[in-house]
């Protein structure tokens, strides 16, 4: 099966962001193969949507390699393998906000990727619009960030409210938290797409996508700064 896999090692050069491996649909065997290829070629691999049994097996496969650091974030369901001497730089600071506690895993997926790819992060979690004063407090705490990633399930109105109060880019992530007509996050998604204050929207639960867009933006600013 090994030769079926064709990791896109050139992506980091082409798009500025390395391929991040979506773990959910792949076997442990495939994941170990891909990880080896990435570690050798790029010095690091980031895997998302990875659950326990596979994590243990991958850890076992790499634990004898002293120069490889493994970092597991259970809530974010991510695994990072990195050569001990891998270096990254910082492009800016992203503020992560969630409407509820159940949205935190999606925000954490974004946070792991942002920090790994060269961003600092600040978080304000559990900031629903049911008590709008909490939004004001959170935005004050995050006044120094360069852009916002806002995660919300249920009615998904938080990113809309945030974008009406700040002048920085706002990336909106619907989460699949909800029930009844809110199930699967499609109501939150639609709310974000119809926001009166325009939002950069990604797919439901797509913390990775939000992080990748944020990074493209901060890399652009970094690039323009040098001009």
User: How far is Cα of residue 222 from the mean position of the Cα atoms in its chain?
Assistant: 20
Q: Are 75 and 96 in contact (CB under 8 A)?
A: no
Taking the alpha carbons at both ends of the chain, their separation in whole angstroms is 46
Q: Does 170 bind a second copy (CB under 8 A)?
A: yes
Q: Which of residues 74-93 bind a second copy (CB under 8 A)?
A: 92
Least CB distance from residue 53 to a second copy, whole Å?
17
DSSP one-letter code for 19: P
Q: Which of 52, 63, 132, 143 binds a second copy (CB under 8 A)?
A: 132
Q: Are 78 and 113 in contact (CB under 8 A)?
A: yes
Residue appearing with tokens 């974008």 = 163
Stretch that binds a second copy, among 36-44, 58-66, 81-89, 124-132 (CB under 8 A): 124-132
Least CB distance from residue 94 to a second copy, whole Å?
12
Q: How many residues bind a second copy (CB under 8 A)?
A: 94
Q: Which of 76, 147, 150, 151 binds a second copy (CB under 8 A)?
A: 147
φ/ψ of residue 181, rounded to 5: -70, -10
Q: Does 72 bind a second copy (CB under 8 A)?
A: no
Q: Which of 28, 42, 83, 176 binds a second copy (CB under 8 A)?
A: 176
Task: Pick the closest to residue 127 from 148, 111, 146, 112 (CA basis).
Answer: 148
Least CB distance from residue 54 to a second copy, whole Å?
14
Q: Which of 10, 60, 71, 88 binds a second copy (CB under 8 A)?
A: 10
Q: Does 192 bind a second copy (CB under 8 A)?
A: yes
- The DSSP-derived string for 122-166 is EEE----TTSHHHHHHHHHHTTT-SEEEEEE-TT--HHHHHHTT-
Dist. CA 157–CA 129, nearest whole Å: 7
Q: Which of residues 18-57 bind a second copy (CB under 8 A)?
A: 19, 24-26, 30
Closer residue to a second copy (CB): 63 or 183: 183
Q: Does 200 bind a second copy (CB under 8 A)?
A: yes
């Amino acid at each position: 099966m090994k030769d079926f896999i064709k990791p896109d090692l050139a992506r980091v050069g082409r798009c500025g962001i390395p391929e991040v491996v979506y773990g959910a649909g792949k076997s442990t065997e495939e994941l170990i193969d891909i990880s080896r290829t990435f570690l050798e070629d790029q010095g690091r691999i980031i895997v998302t949507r990875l659950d326990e049994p596979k994590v243990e097996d991958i850890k076992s496969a790499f634990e004898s390699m002293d120069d490889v650091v493994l970092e597991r974030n259970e809530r974010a369901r991510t695994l990072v393998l990195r050569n001990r001497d891998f270096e990254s730089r910082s492009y800016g600071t992203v503020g992560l906000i969630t409407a509820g506690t159940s949205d935190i895993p999606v925000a954490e997926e974004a946070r792991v990727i942002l920090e790994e790819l060269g961003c600092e992060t600040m978080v304000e979690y559990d900031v629903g619009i049911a008590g709008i004063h909490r939004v004001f407090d959170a935005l004050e705490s995050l006044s120094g960030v360069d852009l916002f990633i806002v995660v919300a399930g249920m009615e998904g109105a938080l990113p809309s409210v945030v974008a009406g109060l700040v002048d920085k880019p706002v990336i909106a992530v619907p989460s699949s938290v909800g029930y009844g007509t809110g199930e699967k996050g499609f109501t939150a998604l639609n709310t974000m797409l119809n926001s009166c204050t325009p939002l950069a929207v990604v797919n439901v639960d797509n913390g990775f996508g939000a992080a990748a867009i944020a990074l493209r933006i901060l890399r652009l600013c970094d690039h323009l700064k040098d001009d």
